[in-house]
Structure 1
Amino acid sequence: MIAHETEKVIIVEGLSDKRKIEEILNEDVTIICTNGTLSINRFDELLDMYNLDENDVYIFVDEDKSGLRLRKQLAKELPHAEHIYISKDYREVATTPYKILASLLVAKHFTVRPFYLQYN
């Protein structure tokens, strides 16, 4: 029997979040941009397209009203997903310092570009 290797998938809200995380990562990771909301139909499309029930899913959204609402929805639909939290002081993934984001990703076993662990 051949073991199926899972892929890592990060779910973010905005394109700026996606770009910043892509810049930090030093491995191939699928990053899904929700644009802040997810209809049932759109979620079902993403579920099938990215095999979210079988892959390692990480929810990395803002610490604001819309981000918390999205996190709650995703947690309900993807109970196996891991959550990555930023400080409420930064509120948004895109405005969180690179070094903080890199540290959060490393804590979840992502490979990041070492430069960003030192970058302020």
Structure 2
Amino acid sequence: MLNLDTKLIIVEGRTDKEKIEKVIDDQVEIVCTNGTIGLERLENLIEAYHMDHRDVYILVDEDNAGKKLRKQLSRELPHAVHIYVDKAFREVAATPEPELAAALISSHIMINPNYLL
């Protein structure tokens, strides 16, 4: 059963999801878009995961595709909180765990304390 109190993080791919799952210690659902998506698929995801009624976080790569996806998600989910990885790492999956943990904790997502700097 879907818990609307569970936070939801939108990422681009499976490796991003796996990296985040490794560092979090919170009730979080992670949804992969598998890159830039069409409006119809996005609307289906919003409806299926009840994103209009949940705390939604956007954590995508800092490359052109990620920026395009972030912009698209921002239009459809204006209430979403944006989490950014350092531009030096460019990709969520390439971001070191302590850096990723710091970005997540700054958005009030609990992380495994083993990943604190």
Per the TM superposition, whether the score is higher than 0.5 is yes
Paired position in structure 1 for 2:110: 111
Unaligned runs of 5+ in 2: none
Identity %: 50
1:8-62 per-residue CA deviation (whole Å, 9 max, x = no partner) reads 1000001000000011111221100001111112111111111000100000000
Runs of 4+ in 1 over 3 A off after TM superposition: none
Question: Distance between the aligned counterparts of 2:46 and 2:71, measured in 1?
Answer: 16
The amino acid of 2:48's aligned partner reads M
Residue of structure 1 equivalent to 2:82: 83
Instruction: Give the CA deviation at 1:5.
Output: 5.7
Quote the RMSD (CA, aligned, Å).
1.3
Give distance in 1, aligned partners of 2:63 and 2:5: 30
Normalising by structure 2, we get a TM-score of 0.94
Q: Which is further off, 98-107 or 34-43?
A: 34-43
Q: Normalising by the residue count of structure 1, what TM-score does the alignment of the two structures yield? A: 0.91
SS state of the match for residue 91, structure 2?
coil
In the other structure, the counterpart of 1:28 is 27
Q: Which residue of 2 aligns with 1:53?
A: 52
What are the equivalent positions in structure 2 for 1:57-76 lying under 5 Å apart?
57-76=56-75
In structure 1, runs of 5+ residues without a counterpart are none
Q: Tell me, yes or no, if the aligned pair for 2:4 and 2:53 is still in contact at 8 Å.
A: no
Larger radius of gyration: 1
* Aligned: 1:17 with 2:8: no
Q: Which residue does the alignment assign to 1:97?
A: 96
CA contact (8 A) 2:4 2:50 kept: no
Q: Which amino acid aligns with 1:117?
A: L
